[in-house]
Amino acid sequence: MIFDVRDRGELLRRTTVELSAAVAGERGIFVLQRIGDLVGYIDVRSVCIEGAAEFASFNLAIRTRWQGRGLGTSLVKSAEEWVRRRRIPFLIFHVAVRNDRAFALYQRLGYTVCGDVVAANKESGVVGDYYAMGRMLDADEVALA
Ligand SMILES: CC(C)(COP(=O)(O)OP(=O)(O)OC[C@H]1O[C@@H](n2cnc3c(N)ncnc32)[C@H](O)[C@@H]1OP(=O)(O)O)[C@@H](O)C(=O)NCCC(=O)NCCS
């Protein structure tokens, strides 16, 4: 995931597209800001199969200097709440095998490895291997939301 980008115009264009989708109810974006400074974000979306939301997924990033303060944890919890409100029972996402920090965070929050994904263009050295990690949201939690 690329968080600090050089091309701010491209970031703005992508963000505008993503926010438009959020208004349509397909995607939620939670952004943390401090005095105009972007601290981190999570974008969560439902994945539909044959028109029905089967599961949800998210992307998460916290700016380096803001890491280790519980902000990633709190954004994942916001995303889980977003998913529960839509009565979607399962969250799944990819995390790079070498991303020990993110892996530990997700494990602490109850996510387990569902499978391995080997990137197709591994030879380029640009993309590595990923775990698919997931978690069933408790039926009670879904019912109470
Ligand atoms: C992975 C990532 C999102 C974690 O975000 P974070 O805000 O640092 O996560 P948290 O602070 O919630 O948890 C991380 C650590 O802080 C500790 N922590 C949790 N709450 C805390 C609090 N209130 N005060 C201090 N530390 C706290 C946790 O114990 C955890 O310990 P660790 O250092 O052993 O990992 C962040 O490192 C990141 O953006 N990385 C780059 C992008 C990326 O990898 N995204 C995920 C792709 S799948």
Q: What is the CATH number of the domain that holds 94?
A: 3.40.630.30
Mean pLDDT over each residue of the chain, to the nearest integer: 81
Among the atoms of ligand 1, which is closest to the Cα of residue 74?
12
More confident residue, 55 or 39: 39
Domain residue limits at 35: 8-144
Calpha distance 29→23 (Å, rounded):
10
Residue 22 counted as domain residue: yes
pTM value is 0.78
Query: What local confidence, expressed as pLDDT, does residue 129 receive?
Result: 85
Lowest model confidence (mean pLDDT) among 46-50, 93-97, 101-105, 129-133: 46-50
Name the token pair of 47. 């994945």
Calpha distance 69→73 (Å, rounded):
9
Residue 28 counted as domain residue: yes
Calpha distance 75→137 (Å, rounded):
16
Q: Is the CB of 105 under 6 A from ligand 1?
A: yes
Tell me the sheet residues that pair with 53: 48
Distance from Cα 143 to the centre of ligand 1, integer Å:
29
Reduced to 3 states, what is the DSSP secondary structure of residue 64?
helix
Residue 1 counted as domain residue: no
Residue 94 counted as domain residue: yes
Mean pLDDT to the nearest integer, 62-68 = 95
Name the token pair of 30. 């939670």
Query: What local confidence, expressed as pLDDT, does residue 5 receive?
Result: 56
Calpha distance 131→27 (Å, rounded):
23
Confidence of residue 125 (pLDDT cuts 50, 70, 90): low
Pocket test for ligand 1, best of 58, 67, 106 (most atoms within 8 A of CB): 67
Q: Is the CB of 110 under 6 A from ligand 1?
A: no
Number of separate domains in the chain: 1
